[in-house]
Structure 1
Amino acid sequence: MEPKQGFIRQKGLLNLVGFSAPTLWRKVKAGTFPKPVKLGQNMTAWRMEEVNQWMNSIQ
C-alpha cells in the first residue's frame, strides 16, 4: 500500500497506476492526471494526495 502523503517518483507511480510512461505524460498533458512538481533540477515527483484523489475518482 502506498503512503497517503508525501511524494512518489515516476517509477513507483507507474507501478501503482499500471500504465506506461508515455501514457502517463499524455494524461498529464491532457489534464486527466495530476501534474508533477519539480523537487530539484533533475527530480520530478507527484503529490500522493493528488494521486490518491485521482485513483478514487476513477473507481
Structure 2
Amino acid sequence: MNQLPETGFLRLPQIIGNPKAEPPIPPIIPVKKSCWWDGVKSGRFPKPVKIGNGRSTFWRVEDIRALIARA
C-alpha cells in the first residue's frame, strides 16, 4: 500500500490510481472511477469535501485510513 500522510487531503487519482500519469500513480483502493462514485453515493466510501472555489474535490486522509481499516 502507498504511504499515506497522517493528515491532509487526497485527490481521486491518488486514491484509485492513474496508470497514465507520469510517473504512474498506484492505487490505494483499486476500483474504477464510476465504482468509486457509486460507492460515495451509497455511503460505502467516504464523502468528499470541496475546497477553495468549490470546484476542487478532495477526501480527508483520515477518512481513507478509516475505510482501509474496516476493510
Highest Rg: 1 or 2? 2
Deviation at 1:2, TM superposition (A): 1.4
Please point out which of 5, 8, 18 is paired with 2:7.
Answer: 5
Distance 1:4 1:26 in 2: 26
Which portions of structure 1, spanning 4 or more consecutive aligned residues, are displaced by more than 3 angstroms? none
Structure 1 unaligned spans of 5+: none
Greater relative contact order (Cα 8 A, min sep 6): structure 1 or 2?
1
RMSD: 0.9
Give the distance between the partners of 1:29 and 1:4, measured in 2 at CA.
26
Letter aligned with residue 39 of structure 1: I
Distance 1:6 1:26 in 2: 24
* Deviation of the 1:16 alpha carbon: 1.2
Instruction: Give unmatched runs, 5+ long, in structure 2.
Output: 17-26
CA distance in structure 1 between the partners assigned to 2:7 and 2:44 by the alignment:
20
- Calculate the TM-score normalised by the size of structure 2: 0.76
**What's 1:39 paired with?**
51
Shift of 1:4: 2.4
% identical aligned pairs: 33
The number of residues matched between the two structures is 58
Secondary structure at the counterpart of residue 23 of structure 1: helix
CA distance in 2, matches of 1:18, 1:51: 13
